[in-house]
Structure 1
């Protein structure tokens, strides 16, 4: 039961409560006041009163419903603003749609202004297209008396026609606002102009053409090759109408969720805008005029404009023409072109030259022959000495001929799209073209023959020299039978061996075996290439996959060096080094390795990476263990000299294996480094003392490891471009974030937050110690691996690393406790502990 007090409160709520329903129409018995609105049936558009920008004037307009801002697409009283908030929109007793002041209904501010007689029971409705329509009696397409789409403002919406009505003689076009605060009719207009035999799209600045979009070509307008269809969704289509009633154009959208509009603004810029629901903003898919070449006749007569051409404002004369002032094809001052010579182009051996990918000239001086094909079009133009060019009227039909008479104006060159224009030229121009065509064909042939002869002679000399060396070589060549037996043994060993153990046997393969395995070095089997030559995938008869490094014939590596490399790699047996299965020295030098299906580490960490942090850390530790073996645990001390992401290969289980020992150097156990005059390797990974002085040591490899570790953490190449000022490489970028106390900002965004903070910080800290300027203060690989695995903070603080290329001054030591205050915590529940090295 309600008490008296509750009943009074309930009645009061009913009095003040606003209705929760919306209307889409008004009739003779209804009005729309300021503060009220119509909403289309599907809730796409809303009509009501608004004030643009900082203006206090009120207007009746249509905008998108429930958008973050009022994007107004149509204004009724654009040139008759309401000075206060007492405006009323209604259908009067005569059936006219009117706008008036509530305190003075006799003063009509704006009306639909149609011819009506007597009393009418008309009604106005806002449609889901954004069109405000006045109906006679009932809402039916046959009863339309007036519609807002016939009186557009600055916005072209889907299904909104504009052009010329042949019966009513009404020209429908769009005009810009005067300013963002004033929707009144501005200076710029977007029109469908019929000033010749072929209608064209234009933007006008007052009465002067500002930009021409060209005639209809069957798909779009020739000056808008990218405008007609959305290249991704293909939901937008442009239409052209030419019948007894009208010449007009419009476009449609097949997907109602695809929201698009075209607008010409108060600066004369036209745009096609598509709504991005995710970003909640409009994205421009086309804009014009876009640069000098989009502006009407910017280069004058008989010229073309190419926006990719930097010089001459993009202007150049058409074939057979020269600058009318300088007599050259192009010039810094450009105002049109004239014929190159005074030779007659009337029944004097003249012809036509094709100019491809252009916006065809202004058709004000053109004639349309809709029934003629392109060959008949040529004959028609050739017979008439006044005809300067011809083109197909449509790129979708076999018929349709456009011929031009007089000057050719506003020709635009496109990098993609456009049409073919056939230009009338004299016999001299045709003769020059013939010579050019002959030279284009002849010169490549002569060059190719000379090149083949030169290469053949060089190869013959190289092969003879190699044959002499091979005859004296003590290594014997294998046979196919031996190759098969060896691979069978290799397969058996791999099937039964324990983790971390490998056979030290290296086999000499016959060239016929390798050719068969690689399908004669098929392009489809090519895995990659570098300065050493090319790598191919191969499959032996028993089904085992191999990788064949086919050393380049231009390689400076001698046969003795090649033999030493085989012996060196054969002695290096470790689970984190690529295994050498054998070699071949018949006809050419080749190395045969185990095949690793996941290729190089660079394929995984750069670009769109799918490696989680645990896999990255395990790969890092595998690389470290391989380098420790080379520096300390193998029978000979090896300095790799080219450690980088592409030289780390991954097997099927994502275990890393260091490869490419072509640049490696061997030392005795007591020797740590050397100096060379021939610096080899990859810039970006080289230590400063090696790159600048030629001095290399185990600490050179440590520097490369530090760079590689930063790349694994960040997912970016050391040579990438960075936003921070003066950060010319990854090392500088990381050092900047380290000094700012924000080292985690360098972590690959694809990792999200699924990593252990302290572990990542320890890796960054260790990497910075590895890339120190001085080799003496860099850790050894053993020390670096220990830092990575030890949960404690690395014992030393990094100084400014190498190749930062800036003078920042002495800023004092960095407070490491700030970085490691979260040590022992995890960012994600599925982060696991560190796997200790084996």
Structure 2
């Protein structure tokens, strides 16, 4: 009796030892299947685990992969998501043809990797769960063998680091994400995300068959419609587009970080989640779409979505609502049409306007060339009457390559990560670079005048400070605007003092000349109602007169006598970049007037001149 008991005890111990060893393995072999009895596969570093599970409150059983050491069970891949198991009597085995299959209790097929016999042909195939979360079939006799099949090629709703998201053009394999239907139903939902291939690929989300969001084309550094820092602390990414493959992929900068991309059908958002160990929870790092302008084609064809605008949808300059009635009730689906007659190739009826910081239009009807310059791209667009816009294909290194759009411009928005888009207009003088040059000339001229005036004022202030207390004359005059008297102190210097201060009028001490004449001339022309006469003759035919007059008016406002009447630099910038109504300027503070000397008898009054200079001092905040 003792011998049979010993044998039975040894068998029990061997069985227990086998189960313990099996529970920590990362491999399935032909002779060692994985039954639904609580056993799992565990990747070598312990990050990922594969086994049978029930999602949420569901009674259905699935084979899935999840993070082993995260307390909130997070499933990243499911084998039989659309064909659940009704009991716990199934098992995973390697079939005779080398595929991994899921069999029911009666040996009927529930799921298979379905690789062709040529793809998985091996004398000793094994299934292994890698540290990346990738489940692979490979040749067990060849440690360096390529994968005969891998779960990374068949993602569910989650994109892990290292996964390729997109197309293998050689085999026609399309790797795309599809959401769960709900938190306890992992079957395929109607919220999907994938790469749309074409002349200039886009990454697109769909609600069913309706396009919901797109990233915009990749411009060398980032996607034109997705704002985010290129250099972030979590991950690096790349977008590959060649004759063999078109895919997006990200890799971690720090292996201790846990981050993933997940499709959420409940909210219809694509989340990037990051695990916070201290809080024992996932946090949302980024969500797409991020606002109303991200939703596909919110403003209709040729409509521009500006999230800070009111309303957010506006027609591009040179366009008007196709249906004003619908547009006014914020139904923007019909978009915009040209507001002026356009004639292809006709002088003064065919040109371009530059729109900055734009998400590039839908690329379905576009043409690209990688070697063209921007000027060559413009010329190419002008040759084709169907061309509606153009831009650089790649923004790196100052820009290169050419993208051309035909037909309506769809899904436009203003965004920080956007780029210059040149839209075809009805008049040639709308070319963005010419308009920009005119504005630069006007702004620079105005600023130069202000700097000159400030320099003269500063020199006077310094002289006053040096010789303060030597000679002072107090004068007063009535303030016409505020109805009060104010005292002004200006120094007077004799000839000897000036000769000494200027080193006998040395040329080395000369600061400039003609400081006050232009100010007086500008004011006189303004009072006469002809300020445009101040415009340089070289600018007469290339500038907008209304913009010139506006710049002169702003300059005069900057020269007001009282500081309260002068705009600060923030207000000046707003004035120069908007069309808001401006205050009417008063007489500039630098004009010379005749006043009576205070304190003399009326019969002996003499007239003298003084310069009403006001000094603005800058103090640190």
Same fold (TM over 0.5): yes
Change (3 A) 1:230 1:44: farther
Q: 2:138 aligns with which of 135, 146, 149?
A: 135
Cα distance per residue 1:37-80 (max 9 Å; x no partner): 11112222111111111111111111112111111111100001
Q: 1:163 aligns with which of 150, 163, 166?
A: 166
Matches within 5 A, 1:62-141: 62-101=65-104, 103-105=105-107, 107-116=108-117, 120-138=123-141, 140=143
Change (3 A) 1:343 1:141: same
Report the alpha carbon displacement of residue 453 of structure 1 after superposing the two structures with TM.
Answer: 6.2
Matches within 5 A, 1:207-606: 207-226=209-228, 229-232=230-233, 235-243=235-243, 245-267=244-266, 268-309=268-309, 311-312=310-311, 314-326=312-324, 332-334=330-332, 335-349=334-348, 350-396=350-396, 399-414=400-415, 416-427=416-427, 430=430, 438=438, 441-442=441-442, 449=449, 456=457, 467=469
Q: TM-score, normalised on structure 2? A: 0.66
Contact 1:123 1:138 in 2 (8 A): no
Aligned partners of 1:443, 1:165: CA distance in 2, in Å?
53
Contact 1:322 1:329 in 2 (8 A): no
In structure 2, list runs of 5 or more residues that go unmatched. Answer: 1-7, 475-614
Report the alpha carbon displacement of residue 426 of structure 1 after superposing the two structures with TM.
Answer: 2.5
Q: Relative contact order (alpha carbons < 8 A, sep ≥ 6): 1 or 2 greater?
A: 2
Which stretch has the larger CA shift, 421-430 or 24-33? 421-430
Report the alpha carbon displacement of residue 279 of structure 1 after superposing the two structures with TM.
Answer: 2.9
Cα distance per residue 1:123-177 (max 9 Å; x no partner): 1011111111111343545442211111110011122113233333332211111
Aligned partners of 1:226, 1:375: CA distance in 2, in Å?
29
Q: TM-score, normalised on structure 1? A: 0.50
Please give the secondary structure, in 2, of the residue aligned with 1:424. Answer: strand
Contact 1:343 1:426 in 2 (8 A): yes
Report the alpha carbon displacement of residue 469 of structure 1 after superposing the two structures with TM.
Answer: 9.2
Matches within 5 A, 1:158-197: 158-194=161-197, 196-197=198-199
Aligned alpha-carbon RMSD (Å) = 3.8
Matches within 5 A, 1:708-747: none
Please give the secondary structure, in 1, of the residue aligned with 2:370. Answer: strand
Which stretch has the larger CA shift, 266-275 or 140-149? 140-149
Change (3 A) 1:431 1:288: closer
Aligned partners of 1:394, 1:435: CA distance in 2, in Å?
24
Aligned partners of 2:134, 2:432: CA distance in 1, in Å?
59
Report the alpha carbon displacement of residue 281 of structure 1 after superposing the two structures with TM.
Answer: 2.6
Contact 2:33 2:94 in 1 (8 A): yes
Change (3 A) 1:357 1:139: farther
The count of residues paired between Structure 1 and Structure 2 equals: 460
Aligned partners of 2:117, 2:436: CA distance in 1, in Å?
71
Change (3 A) 1:58 1:432: closer
Please give the secondary structure, in 1, of the residue aligned with 2:215. Answer: strand
Contact 1:391 1:420 in 2 (8 A): yes
Aligned partners of 2:419, 2:153: CA distance in 1, in Å?
32
Contact 2:274 2:283 in 1 (8 A): yes
Aligned partners of 1:77, 1:316: CA distance in 2, in Å?
47
Contact 1:212 1:296 in 2 (8 A): yes
Report the alpha carbon displacement of residue 317 of structure 1 after superposing the two structures with TM.
Answer: 1.8
Contact 2:125 2:139 in 1 (8 A): yes
Report the alpha carbon displacement of residue 218 of structure 1 after superposing the two structures with TM.
Answer: 1.6
The answer to whether 1:38 aligns with 2:37 is no
In structure 1, list runs of 5 or more residues that go unmatched. Answer: 1-7, 473-587, 591-645, 647-838
Change (3 A) 1:422 1:410: same
Please give the secondary structure, in 1, of the residue aligned with 2:380. Answer: helix
Change (3 A) 1:75 1:139: farther
Cα distance per residue 1:413-435 (max 9 Å; x no partner): 11x22222122222266289967
Which stretch has the larger CA shift, 359-368 or 137-146? 137-146
Which stretch has the larger CA shift, 416-425 or 359-368? 416-425
Aligned partners of 2:15, 2:172: CA distance in 1, in Å?
53
Q: 2:147 aligns with which of 134, 138, 144?
A: 144
Please give the secondary structure, in 1, of the residue aligned with 2:49. Answer: strand
Please give the secondary structure, in 2, of the residue aligned with 1:273. Answer: strand
Please give the secondary structure, in 2, of the residue aligned with 1:420. Answer: strand
Aligned partners of 2:373, 2:158: CA distance in 1, in Å?
38
Report the alpha carbon displacement of residue 113 of structure 1 after superposing the two structures with TM.
Answer: 1.2
Please give the secondary structure, in 2, of the residue aligned with 1:372. Answer: coil
Please give the secondary structure, in 2, of the residue aligned with 1:364. Answer: coil
Report the alpha carbon displacement of residue 395 of structure 1 after superposing the two structures with TM.
Answer: 1.8
Aligned partners of 1:111, 1:292: CA distance in 2, in Å?
42
Change (3 A) 1:158 1:420: same
Aligned partners of 2:95, 2:10: CA distance in 1, in Å?
37
Aligned partners of 1:338, 1:250: CA distance in 2, in Å?
39
Please give the secondary structure, in 2, of the residue aligned with 1:381. Answer: helix
Report the alpha carbon displacement of residue 260 of structure 1 after superposing the two structures with TM.
Answer: 1.8
